[in-house]
């Protein structure tokens, strides 16, 4: 399948690496190809400059957001949450019309340090904002409740643990669920939270995610729902 991943950070790279290994035709979208390739310093999370990462992924093309939007039958949003609406606008509503838009972003506000707060919460969410911004796209929120390494390799954390999906379009959720299965998520680990409004819950979970991470000293964990 032709897939576009918007975002050159650790999530964009991890998802691109996994999906291209599975045989998908993946491009990565960025604001400015030349500027992104010219970076020589690690990013704020310590990831190597993009050009260095690309040397080990020569088949993956880095393209402007709009070209990525044209390429992808499925488009993955892995951009900084506070800038995701700008990235989606640059990708283009027309390029996203009718397409599945898998949103992995968290609307984090890091201006006051850790743990972050959210730029939108309670009565709205980034997932819903994106769906309103591109009403003809079919937004599915997923994978945003865990570290990138866990998103693309559930075995990174032992045992049975969960990934959530939320979105208004049932077929789009089927497409995302099938990609999650390909990645390695067992059927019974994928929990459908209903409409895109469920993005509020998974985005607000980030408060517990960051606080738990501070307590454990690692992000190498995930949430497991245990029921009677």
Residues lying near ligand NAP in the complex (CB under 6 A) are found at 7-12, 30-31, 36, 45, 78-81, 83, 86-87, 104-106, 108, 144, 147-148
Both tokens assigned to 54: 């690309």
73/80 with CB nearer ligand NAP: 80
What's the min distance (Å) between Cβ of 27 and ligand NAP?
13
Residue tagged 């019974």 (tokens): 188
100/146 with CB nearer ligand NAP: 146
Task: Give me the helices (H) in 61-193, please.
Answer: 65-71, 84-91, 93-96, 126-133, 148-151, 170-183
Both tokens assigned to 34: 């030349």
35/170 with CB nearer ligand NAP: 35
Query: Are 125 and 197 a contacting pair, CB within 8 Å?
Result: yes
List the beta bridge partners of residue 139.
101
What's the min distance (Å) between Cβ of 169 and ligand NAP?
21
What's the min distance (Å) between Cβ of 11 and ligand NAP?
3
What's the min distance (Å) between Cβ of 62 and ligand NAP?
9
60/147 with CB nearer ligand NAP: 147
Please give the distance of CA 115 from its chain centroid, rounded to a whole number. 20
Query: Are 196 and 127 a contacting pair, CB within 8 Å?
Result: yes
Closest-approach residue to ligand NAP (CB): 9
Query: Are 141 and 173 a contacting pair, CB within 8 Å?
Result: no
171/220 with CB nearer ligand NAP: 220
Residue tagged 């979105």 (tokens): 167
41/228 with CB nearer ligand NAP: 41
CA distances from 12 to 22, 47, 126, 216 (A): 15, 12, 18, 25
Residues 187, 191, 195, 196, Cα dihedral to 10°: -100
Cα gap 85→130, rounded to integer Å: 6
């Amino acid at each position: 399948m032709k897939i576009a991943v918007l975002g050159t950070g650790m999530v964009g790279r991890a998802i691109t690496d996994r999906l291209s290994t599975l045989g998908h035709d993946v491009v990565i979208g960025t604001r400015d190809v030349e500027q992104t390739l010219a970076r020589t310093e690690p990013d704020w999370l310590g990831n190597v400059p993009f050009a260095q990462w690309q040397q080990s992924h020569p088949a993956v093309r880095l393209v402007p957001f709009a070209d990525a939007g044209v390429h992808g039958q499925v488009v993955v949003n892995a951009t900084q949450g506070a800038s995701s609406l700008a990235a989606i606008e640059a990708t283009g509503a027309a390029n996203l019309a009718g397409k599945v838009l898998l949103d992995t972003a968290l609307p984090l506000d890091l201006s006051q340090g850790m743990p972050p707060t959210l730029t939108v919460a309670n009565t709205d969410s980034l997932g819903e904002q994106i769906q309103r911004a591109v009403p003809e796209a079919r937004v599915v929120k997923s994978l945003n409740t865990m570290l990138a390494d866990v998103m693309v390799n559930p075995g990174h954390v032992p045992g049975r643990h969960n990934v959530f999906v939320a979105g208004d379009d049932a077929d789009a959720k089927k497409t995302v669920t099938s990609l999650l299965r390909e990645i390695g998520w067992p059927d019974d680990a994928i929990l459908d939270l209903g409409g895109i409004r469920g993005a509020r819950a998974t985005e607000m979970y980030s408060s517990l995610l960051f606080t738990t991470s501070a307590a454990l000293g690692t992000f190498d964990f995930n949430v497991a729902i245990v029921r009677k």
